Amino acid sequence: MKKVEAMTVVSQRTIANNIYECSLKGDLVSVMNEPGQFVHLKVTDGIEPTLRRPISICSVDTNERTFTMVYRVEGIGTKKLSHKLPGERVNVLGPLGHGFPMEELKSESHCLLVGGGIGVPPLYELAKQLTSKGHSVTAVLGFRSKEDVFYEREFSRLGPTFVATEDGSYGEMGFVTDVIGAKQLTGDCYYACGPRPMLKAIESNMPIPGFLSLEERMGCGIGACLACVCDMKNEAGYRKVCSDGPVFKAGEVVV
């Protein structure tokens, strides 16, 4: 049976403009095995905000029974989350959804990881797991501006890492697709997470197989309310971003 748990905040800090890194401790960490999954958080006991907030899992430390989230403060939910101090509790439902598949990779594959903004975090746990399985990774991380950049150093430890900013204030100027083109980056497959226009561009430009992680407004987070559906490309059906995704094979759903 699935569970919810009041997990304890062990750390909370700002790492970029409006971007927070928060670690939580508890038993649910033991089932957080798949990079790309997310947790659904109730940040207050009251009715404001009413709904949970889906946040991707950025890294997992099973020995310490902690996992880390990197999130952007957007509205009242994430704002309240950012005010949580070490020792306080957060109600966690998860891990939810299907993450980035790694089973079909041939041994010692080279993987291109493409992240945009707040889509970068789930790729970090993926990078850790891929490299620990003997694969190699190259990361391309896109941000709006210099003050938005985070986790460049963390990714650099795992493989070559390129940063692009839209205004050119840090790294390469332009979008992640510009960097991929200019540096002629490729691999056996790619994994991407970021805003829809970025995912669209990646999906249509990359000649190699890949996986895309989607974001959508969610209700329940477990596949019951049908708030976060997306259309499939080749048939009449639909997929639920929360429970069928959030990661889909490139070409499976309409991005």
Partner 1 sequence: MKMNVSLPGLDLKNPIMPASGCFGFGKEYSEFYDLSKLGAICVKAVSPLMKRGNPTPRVAETPGGMLNAIGLQNPGLESVMENELPWLERFDVPIIVNIAGNTIEEYMDVARVVSKAPNVKAVELNISCPNVKEGGIAFGTDPYIAKELTARVKDVCHVPVYVKLSPNVTDIVTIAKAVEEGGADGLSMINTLLGMRLDLKTGKPILANETGGLSGSAIKPVAVRMIYTVSQQVSIPIIGMGGVTNADDALELILAGASAVAVGTQNFVDPFACPTIIEELEEKLKDYHVDHIGELTGRSWRPSLQPLTTR
Residue indicated by tokens 């952007």? 72
| Structural contact between residues 99 and 175, judged by C-beta atoms closer than 8 angstroms | no
CA gap 105, 103 in Å, rounded? 6
CA gap 16, 148 in Å, rounded? 5
- Segment contacting partner 1 by CB under 8 A, of 28-36, 108-116, 126-134, 220-228: 220-228
CA gap 252, 212 in Å, rounded? 10
Q: Say whether residue 164 binds partner 1 (CB under 8 A).
A: no
| Angle (CA) 213 217 220, round 5° | 100
Q: How far is CA 207 from CA 168, 185, 187, 250, 251, in A?
A: 27, 11, 10, 11, 12
Q: Say whether residue 80 binds partner 1 (CB under 8 A).
A: no
Question: Residue 190: what are its φ and ψ, rounded to 5°?
Answer: -130, 155
Q: Say whether residue 212 binds partner 1 (CB under 8 A).
A: no
Using CB under 8 A, count the residues that bind partner 1.
Answer: 30
Q: Which of 27, 226, 233, 249 binds partner 1 (CB under 8 A)?
A: 226
Q: Say whether residue 195 binds partner 1 (CB under 8 A).
A: no
Of the pair 5, 203, the CB lying nearest partner 1 is at: 5
State the nearest-atom distance from the C-beta of 50 to partner 1, in Å: 5
Of the pair 3, 249, the CB lying nearest partner 1 is at: 3
Query: Site residues for partner 1, window 2-31 (CB under 8 A)?
Result: 2-4
Q: Say whether residue 227 binds partner 1 (CB under 8 A).
A: yes
State the nearest-atom distance from the C-beta of 83 to partner 1, in Å: 18
State the nearest-atom distance from the C-beta of 213 to partner 1, in Å: 16
Within 13 Å and on the Cβ side, how many CA atoms surround 158? 26
Q: Which of 7, 29, 69, 93 binds partner 1 (CB under 8 A)?
A: 93
Name which of 155, 187, 186, 158 is nearest 171 in CA terms.
Answer: 155
Query: Site residues for partner 1, window 60-79 (CB under 8 A)?
Result: none
Residues that bind partner 1 (CB under 8 A): 1-4, 42, 47-52, 93, 216-230, 236, 238, 243
